[in-house]
Amino acid sequence: MPGQELRWSQAQGNVAVERKLFNPRLFLLVPAAVLVAGCGGSFTLANSGAGQVVLRSQTAGAASAPMSVPTSRATLPTSATLNWTATTTDGLPVAVEWSVTGGDPHAGAGSVTADGMYTAPSWLTVDDAQVTLHARVPGAATDAATAEIQITPGFIRPISPENLAVAPGSAVSLSASLAEVGGNASIGFSLPAGENGTLSAADCQRSPLTSQTPAYTVCSVTYTAPATAPAATIAVPLRATIQVPAQRSVGGVSSVASLLLSPEGITSNPAAHQQALALPVLLGSSAGSNSDYDASGGQLMDCCGGTLGALVEDAGGNRYVLGNNHIFARSDQAIPGESMIQPALIDNGCTPYGEGPGTVPVASLVAYPLLDAPGTRVDAALARVSPGSVDPAGAILELGARQQDNTLAAAPPGVSSTAGRGEQPRLGMTVAKSGRTTGLTCGSITALDTEILVDYYRDCAETEHAFRKRFTGQMVVSGNHFADAGDSGSLVVDGATAEPVGLFFAGGVDNTGVEQAIANPVRDVLGDLSHALGAGALRFVGAADHPVACLRYPAPQAASAELSAPVRAAAAHALELARQWAATTRSAASGAADAAQPELVASLDAVASDGTPRPAIRISGPIAAVAPRTFAGVPTQAAPSAAVPDAAALAAAERVRDSHSAALFALSPAIFGVGVGQSADNPADPALILFVDRSQPLPELPTTVGGQRLRVIRMERPHVTRGHGQPAVHGCRPSLGALREGSQNFGVQPGGLPLRSLPLRSLPLP
């Protein structure tokens, strides 16, 4: 579940970076390379020994060719990365030796690799630092060229919480953190003009550089909602922009949080999910493996975490906490007995249990199906509950009724109508989840029986790719702010009954800014875990079915797509055929009074190879129900309706998907998922849903496949949604005992399962 999009722009001769929030993927942002397309600057210096050398810069991972921009200065935030190349004025490559000097007096100048990849320092002690990049021809006495790079502070943590619901007249506190120790930089918070509530002055806390426990700059603000509830649900954007006294703002770097104001006046703050809870802890809260961190040279670099999903029990009455393999078992890397702690390391400054206060062990790992195995359908794991550590009723934060103070009570999931086995997902079903990062949110199931590729990594920083897993039979939930990094392991429930439906584990944001969340159907989860555990059938622990308060964040407003003149001209013949059909159909239909002519509009299902709109023919009135799916290859579009495909139509679409799935994947490496859902052009029709990497080129696709509509969703490639963090104290060095904690911790509890029940490969046993 990607996260923040960094968009490069050229302004006043400098290269600026803007964080554009598309449901940010890193809640506690760890310094990492910027992997998006864009351009830096270039300039030329004369050198008598080497001739004229041109330096060009381009962000790491950029797909387009470097642009030549006549400037001698690039501006980067902390941790950002630029690829540099040296060429002659004719564009021929020049072999050079790269080096950097200057920079922050304490954090340094950053680093540059032998092939020219420059990475800015991850933190600063001043408001900006000047770095000189040197390019020297081997054997030369002087530089062939140099570049000046200005480093400015970036966010170490964007606005937290990133989303929350606020009752009328109530006040909430939000904060953001800068990658700067000392210095004078601050964060400015702002609201859009209008009746959107008020903000207090920002309060910034910064520890001096000489402090024994230096911390990053943290700025907080209090938001007070309007006294009157709105007539309809709205989401107010709160923007945070980094500022320094000399220049007011830094490179356009900003973060946005969404404040939900609803007629019901419910208060819901995800911060409650991230706190250390009293024993027995509630589900839906922050948790993870005590061993889920990266270490180098004895230094803890960063850490991960997720969500305690649900409470389950086996036929013998043994209780387990359900979560994801990639959270509890660290993507197949865990060993028996690793402890699960609450809260996760990301919410305790990356301080493991046993190395400092703040967390408690609540369960120990006992079983998980291997992800790196062809037959595995789920990303799931079980941890045996420590006595008295987890709420025995299986209550999940905010899954209950509204209380007098407008907050939502904790409640167990519903189990009465399925005897704890959970419901089968249905297309269009409203579902809810309660997770560590975004709290209680709602969305709709938009695709079923989905085959999808998901990447897994060995480390928290996601720099060491482990494998790409092909999942089948998955469900997809669409919803703005439905889930984010750190929500992995959340139980997805039916909004009407609270019955378990899915286990959330991965996701990504589409081109409209809406989360496309991927979840394992819970009956597959229970079945696969029962087999791995070898202790009889599993069931969810819960209570009578009950409704869940639905907090649904409105989707971003999308601009109306306009068709180009060439596209309209190419579709003119199809439009004429549609008008002839409509005239004939109206004449034959008794009482058909609708005289609106079919018209050309942008398709909601199909896009061109470059991502631009393709045409559709909108047909209005009663005849829309009997309109063909295409005219001369151009799809038809019916007026919006709440209709959904019937069971027979979906079954037919599933058969087509089964027979065409391999061919669809083979069309392009950009295609990473194929599922069955409903058409956006005509919701009463099923459609094959094609999930496509929005950063890669796409071939021209047909409008229909096997007679079924084809709907394309362009989005970031899905990723498992671990939350990432870093030590609260710079240079935190846990002891060797902590770094080996995974092999020495708690072990299998007395009365627990034998080690042979764990589906481990050649992992070292304690």
| 3 state SS for 299-354 | EEEEEEEEECCEEEECCCCCEEEEECHHHHCCCCCCCCCCEEEECCHHHCCCCCCC
Task: Name the residue with higher pLDDT: 615 or 214.
Answer: 615
Whether 284 and 306 have beta carbons less than 8 Å apart is answered as no
DSSP 491-555: EEEETTT--EEEEEEEEEEBTTS-EEEEEEEHHHHHHHHHHHHTSS--EE--BS--------BPP
So what's the pLDDT on residue 695? Answer: 87
The mean per-residue pLDDT over the stretch 332-354 comes to 94
Kindly indicate the confidence band of residue 757, based on its pLDDT and cuts at 50, 70 and 90.
Answer: very low
What does the mean pLDDT of the chain come to?
84
CA dihedral 82, 88, 93, 96 (to 10 degrees): -70
Residue 620, amino acid: S
Q: Is the CATH number 2.60.40 carried by domain 4-152? A: yes
pLDDT tens-digit series, residues 584-614:
988 876 555 556 789 999 999 998 888 888 9
d(CA 184, CA 446): 47
pLDDT tens-digit series, residues 285-330:
999 999 999 988 777 888 999 999 999 999 999 999 999 999 999 9
Residue 152: which of 288, 243, 22 has the closest Cα? 243
Strands 339-342 and 319-323: unpaired
Kindly indicate the confidence band of residue 746, based on its pLDDT and cuts at 50, 70 and 90.
Answer: very low
Q: Is the CATH number 3.40.50.2300 carried by domain 156-265? A: no
Give the list of residues 6+ apart from residue 517 with CB closer than 8 angstroms, or none: 1, 443, 476, 477, 478, 479, 482, 483, 504, 506, 507
pTM recorded for the entire structure: 0.84
Kindly indicate the confidence band of residue 214, based on its pLDDT and cuts at 50, 70 and 90.
Answer: low
Q: Is 5 helix (H, G, I), strand (E, B) or coil?
A: strand
Task: Identify the residue whose tokens are 């291997």.
Answer: 370
Give the list of residues 6+ apart from residue 713 with CB closer than 8 angstroms, or none: 510, 516, 689, 690, 691, 692
DSSP element (H, E) containing 238: strand 234-243
Other CB atoms within a 10 A radius of the CB of residue 470 amount to 13
Q: Break the chain into its structural domains and give their ranges.
A: 4-152, 156-265
User: Does pLDDT of 19 surpass 50?
Assistant: no
DSSP element (H, E) containing 659: helix 647-666
Strands 111-112 and 97-102: unpaired
Residue 440: which of 165, 229, 160 has the closest Cα? 165
Kindly indicate the confidence band of residue 218, based on its pLDDT and cuts at 50, 70 and 90.
Answer: very high
User: Does pLDDT of 535 surpass 90?
Assistant: no
Q: How many CA atoms lie within 13 A of 286 on its CB side?
A: 29
Largest CA distance in the chain: 92
Helices (H), 240-298: 271-274
User: Does pLDDT of 48 surpass 70?
Assistant: no
Task: Examine domains 4-152 and 156-265 and report if their fold is the same.
Answer: yes
pLDDT tens-digit series, residues 616-674:
999 988 888 889 999 999 999 997 666 789 999 999 999 999 999 999 999 999 999 99
Q: Is 652 helix (H, G, I), strand (E, B) or coil?
A: helix
So what's the pLDDT on residue 307? Answer: 97
